[in-house]
């Protein structure tokens, strides 16, 4: 996927993804969709990037600060403030001890204002 993305070969990228889905889809985790999101953003395909980001969110492990950081950063970059705030609220519930919330997530919210 990354090779196709580096060459801006979106058709090839989606063919690889379709082949992976046709096989054992359990091998496709949230990081696969996060890579796909990055490729779509670089190609200027923001609607597809948002769709890939939503898939990444579905597959992301719960209570993972890494996943929250990634998702919040990208929803903010795509201008999806509602999604960013939704995740922020969810993260505050999952991480009741605010000292466990990475500072970078605070910055993601602040930068979206």
pLDDT digits (tens, 9 = 90+) for 27-39: 789 999 999 999 9
Structure tokens at 89: 């609220």
**Same domain, residue pair 10 and 52:** yes
Instruction: Identify whether the C-beta of residue 55 lies closer than 8 Å to the C-beta of residue 23.
Output: no
The alpha-helical segments, DSSP class H, found in 43-102 are 46-59, 65-77, 81-94
**Same domain, residue pair 43 and 66:** no
- Quote the Cα angle for 51-105-1, to 5°: 35
**Same domain, residue pair 34 and 74:** no
Q: For the residues of 2-46, what is the DSSP string, one character each?
A: HHHHHTT-HHHHHHHHHHHHHS-GGG--HHHHHHHHHHHHHTT-H
Rounded to an integer, the average pLDDT of 68-73 is 87
Q: Which domain holds residue 78?
A: 62-113
**Same domain, residue pair 28 and 79:** no
**Same domain, residue pair 71 and 109:** yes
Closest of 29, 53, 38 to residue 4, by C-alpha: 38
**Same domain, residue pair 88 and 77:** yes
Q: Is the pLDDT of residue 82 over 70?
A: yes
**Which of 39, 59, 79 finishes a domain?**
59
**Same domain, residue pair 53 and 1:** yes
Rounded to whole angstroms, the Cα distance separating 112 from 107 reads 8
**Same domain, residue pair 50 and 82:** no
Number of domains in the chain: 2
The model carries a pTM of 0.79
């Amino acid at each position: 996927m990354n090779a196709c993305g580096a060459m801006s070969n979106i058709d090839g990228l989606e063919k690889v993804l379709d082949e992976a889905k046709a096989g054992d889809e359990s091998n496709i985790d949230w990081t696969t969709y996060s890579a796909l999101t990055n490729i779509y953003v670089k190609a200027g395909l923001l609607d597809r990037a948002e769709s890939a980001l939503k898939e990444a969110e579905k597959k992301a492990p719960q209570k993972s600060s890494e996943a929250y950081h990634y998702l919040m950063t990208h929803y903010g970059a795509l201008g999806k403030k509602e999604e960013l705030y939704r995740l922020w609220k969810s993260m505050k519930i999952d991480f009741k001890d605010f000292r466990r919330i990475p500072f970078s997530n605070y910055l993601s919210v602040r930068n979206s204002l």
